[in-house]
Amino acid sequence: MLHTGNGKAARPQTPVRLSPVDEAAPFPAVSAASQDELQRAVTTARVAQPEWASRPLEERARLLERAAKAMLRDRNLLLHLVKEEMGKHEVESLFTEALGPLDAVKAWHKIVARSQSRRVSLNPLAFPRKRARVEMVPRGVIGIIAPWNFPVSGLYRSVVPALLSGNAVVLKPSEYTPKSSAWFMEHFARELPHGIATVVQGDGAVGAALVDSGIDACVFTGSVKAGGRVRVRCAELGIPSSIEMGGKDAAIVLGDCDLDRTVMGITHWALSNAGQACGAIEVAYVEERIADEFVARMRSAWEQLRTGPGDDDVEVAPLANARQLAVVEAHVEDALKKGAKLVCGGKRTGRGFGHLPTLLDRCTSSMDVVREETFGPVLAVVRVWGADEAVRAINAAKYGLGASIWTRDVARAERLVERLDVGVANINTHAFTGAVPQLPWSGTRATGFGVANSELSLVNFCHPKTVAIDEADAPEPFYMPFDATLRQLGEALVKAQLGELLGAVKLPLLLRRRQKRIRDFFRR
């Protein structure tokens, strides 16, 4: 349902229509915002935004910090909601969803403060008595279309900087996790002016309507197909957009790696959140000389992992919904048909949408599990003869979000990452930078062209305004009229730039002559 800025729910409307595969899921009862409700949310946000933007940054930060502290105190409700909506274990949600809001607000406060206004140094000879600064001006109303896999922590990097920058936000959460994301926004709505933090519920049709509602910028995270449509529509409307459309992250495992730590790291980054992360490791390019040992060690570890709908006694949670389970099963089946070797897993577990951690060996680029985003607890092992082969494969892949290199030779790895055509390159780690506000999170190719996190992302929420101030008394030497005095000054400038002493010596005299000529011209 629609949540207004004061946290009160609007009148329920027609329920979202679900496809048959979705109806089999434990889908929370939600109602879609009507067109009128959506438009009213955007209009209310637009009316409220100028006053919000006029408040000092310190005041905006103080209110957001107060909301973030309330989130920490109310964390148990969030853990319950996330488990109810997508099956994520509470202990995992504690770390991936609940612990971050206050840190995010504090970090973004510093980033926005640094970026709000900065002076630009001007050459005093070329631009006498002039100064300039660049101010970041909030765009107005930011529409955010969010995914389901991180229903709260996935919002930090857009909602928080947008609000701190002085914008109003209208969020359309995933229809799979409406309550969790609304929980997050409602904490802000209680502290902020009416209309500044608003939620509109619904499916892709509501998201499309949000893009068309008159927002000033759009942030989208989701599928390639939907993201492409959003990007095109935003371009047609002339509004900026930041589009992240998934990933197929790979790890390059070199023969000299610390195998103990590599197995630990790849296991975590492949199976955290049941593999439902755009930055999850889905493919491991392993040097042939250690491939047998790597696969054996991974199998030993993965077969010990506990799966299912439990909590503190389980490592790998179920998948979030029936649709994602179907994708995982289809990718595994395709790989096995095309010659992959099933090392472990490969089937459902327990009730609901549980799937065993699945390790596939001897995979090839012809398989969906190597080419397409699986978004599940599956790792495809591709054996390679060396790092060059792995780098070529990663650069030829559909997605270009992240990659990692696992080796003891860090200097060699640093040379290799220069050749990787990805947005995030890691050495002996993976994907943790997605939770670091100071570091940009972006990709290439089908991943999209938006930037999340860091000062570079603030262009999504602000437009730069240059303010130039001239306190000079004399006219500019390039003013009209265009005559011989201007030509002489220009030739002297050329000689001075080329290092010819005579040109530099003549400049003061020619400049005074030129300024006198301009004054005389305009006094006639």
Q: 278 an active-site residue?
A: yes
Residues with pLDDT less than 50, the chain: 1-28
Q: How far is CA 150 from CA 12, 153, 156, 310, 373, in A?
A: 26, 6, 10, 19, 17
Task: Specify the pLDDT at position 1.
Answer: 32
Task: Specify the pLDDT at position 29.
Answer: 64
Q: What's the Rg (C-alpha) of the chain?
A: 28
Annotated catalytic residue, options 218, 234, 257, 278: 278
Phi-psi domain of 140 (left: phi exceeds 0; alpha: psi -120 through 50; beta: other): left
Q: What is the pTM of this model?
A: 0.91
Task: Specify the pLDDT at position 23.
Answer: 33
The packing angle between helices 484-497 and 501-523, to 10°, is 150
CB 30 within 8 A of CB 201: yes
| Close Cβ partners of 267 (under 8 Å, ≥ 6 residues apart) | 298, 301, 302, 305
Task: Specify the pLDDT at position 11.
Answer: 29
Query: Strand pairing of 402-406 and 249-253?
Result: parallel
Per-residue model confidence as pLDDT tens digits over 399-408: 999 999 999 9
CA angle in degrees (0–180, nearest 5) for 168-170-175: 160
| Close Cβ partners of 260 (under 8 Å, ≥ 6 residues apart) | none
The span from the CA of 290 to the CA of 408, in Å, is 14
| Close Cβ partners of 244 (under 8 Å, ≥ 6 residues apart) | 220, 221, 222, 227, 278, 442, 443, 447, 448, 450, 452
Annotated catalytic residue, options 85, 90, 186, 244: 244
